[in-house]
Structure 1
């Protein structure tokens, strides 16, 4: 059908459209875009590719469907990126209002070496300033930074009860709580020299065995929102880049 190399003359105003196998006369151009069709009708033709390949070019309707599908995919990817950024911002806000103040108020920032002085198992009936059922707790005295001090498990242990260095988890079961305290006491007597966290304040007579709101915990908490924020920005940037490349390719 497109065997002639030159264009077919249709008069002084004949226009031809280049195809993969030759030039398309103006009548077929009109038929391809529905110009010569009847009222309310649209004709769509399938143009054949280079001679000898036996392949056919996609019709106009198929191209439009592909473009619409691509736009929907870009919109969904853009929504995903924005959602990831919003979730990261919300997580940053929660961390800045909860964990960051606790980290800033923690004064036990100096790592020291503690030497065990004595341990004692006490029975307490107070927890967070209120009366509770009797439970056993461990009291530990140590020597740190050249002075006597009371060892607390974490910052929360000191706020729960200043008379206990270690408070077991299972307070409802007295026997299990007693066994837990005995096990911790045996570990202290086995390792009488260990690392602890002290403060530079001279009037502070307490040290911590473990920092609950230390820099490692803070960095670990900030990892996931940072990962979400970075991933969301990358998704948005890739969608914008894809749109820019599509516009440049269409202009050529």
Structure 2
């Protein structure tokens, strides 16, 4: 009689359950360890991020500070120039009454017998008295066809409305007289020639001036150079601020790239792929053991 072979399939259940339980324990351990690793990395990243945020605070160098100081100084000095030049030059130009331009022709130039008194400085606390000759010049104004009294500029007409110019007060009378005679001869030589002059038909119809003390060229220079300095200072400050802003943006961009690389490491992928491999091994092993021949 032949004995029937005893099936030993049931005896393999115990080791299979043990291996499955051990695999589950490994999974839980690995999950717990991966969670703890992620938390540690997050804490480290937060700490690094705090340090980076502190490091990313805009710290200006000594050169940038000097450039900003130079730009602010240029702007402040230009504003001061506007204030000073506006009071001393531009305001008299705007208040000048001789604004109408015309053509004048010399008719007569005479030196008056009555000299004008003046004072001169002979030392620190010394002042002397002298006299200077008064030169009168009459011209024909082309616009009004009238005979008017000519003055050198608008300052001369304010100091002495009778004379053509105001010479420097000197003690030597002969020197003053020779200077007046020289100007008189030059005007007589130009007798009949037309030259530009300025007048005011409403307030000063009987007077005219040869030159304006404050003209448009002077006003242009008074406004151009302070404006150029103001624009230059503003450009220096703006360029420094723009450079600091761009450097801060570059630092923030590099810090963001480092954080993204730190949050996606290759070790996490390998740790997550381990339970899948164990599942494949456990699924394959019972099938092989079930179909294995008995010895």
TM superposition score normalised by structure 2:
0.57
CA RMSD of aligned residues (A): 2.6
Q: 1:57 is matched with which residue?
A: none
Cα offsets for 1:142-179 (capped at 9, x unmatched):
11121111111011101111121122235344333333
Q: Does residue 1:148 correspond to 2:139, yes or no?
A: no
Q: Does residue 1:133 correspond to 2:134, yes or no?
A: no
Distance 1:90 1:202 in 2: 34
Q: 2:182 is matched with which residue?
A: 183
1:159 match: secondary structure: helix
1:171 match: secondary structure: coil
Cα offsets for 1:35-74 (capped at 9, x unmatched):
xxxxxxxxxxxxxxxxxxxxxxxxxxxxx9xx97x61100
Distance 1:101 1:127 in 2: 28
Q: Does residue 1:124 correspond to 2:115, yes or no?
A: yes
- 8 Å CA contact 2:67, 2:236 repeated in 1: yes
* Displacement after TM superposition at 1:203 (Å): 5.3
Cα offsets for 1:113-136 (capped at 9, x unmatched):
1011100123522359xx941112
TM superposition score normalised by structure 1:
0.66
- 8 Å CA contact 1:125, 1:132 repeated in 2: no
Distance 2:168 2:208 in 1: 21
- 8 Å CA contact 1:85, 1:232 repeated in 2: yes
Q: Does residue 1:234 correspond to 2:235, yes or no?
A: yes
* Displacement after TM superposition at 1:93 (Å): 1.4
- 8 Å CA contact 2:118, 2:132 repeated in 1: no
Distance 1:221 1:177 in 2: 35
2:115 match: secondary structure: strand
Report the count of equivalent residues.
Answer: 186
Range 169-178 or range 205-214, more displaced: 169-178
Q: Is there any run of 5+ residues in structure 1 with no aligned partner, and where?
A: 1-11, 14-63
Cα offsets for 1:82-141 (capped at 9, x unmatched):
01111111111122333233122211111111011100123522359xx94111232101
Distance 1:195 1:95 in 2: 27
Answer with 1 or 2: which has the greater Rg: 2
2:156 match: secondary structure: helix
Cα offsets for 1:6-53 (capped at 9, x unmatched):
xxxxxx97xxxxxxxxxxxxxxxxxxxxxxxxxxxxxxxxxxxxxxxx
Q: Does residue 1:74 correspond to 2:57, yes or no?
A: no
Higher relative contact order (CA 8 A, sep 6+): 2
Q: Is there any run of 5+ residues in structure 2 with no aligned partner, and where?
A: 1-33, 38-54, 120-127, 254-295
Q: 1:169 is matched with which residue?
A: 168
The structure 1 residue matched to 2:102, chosen from 112, 124, 144, is 112
1:213 match: secondary structure: coil
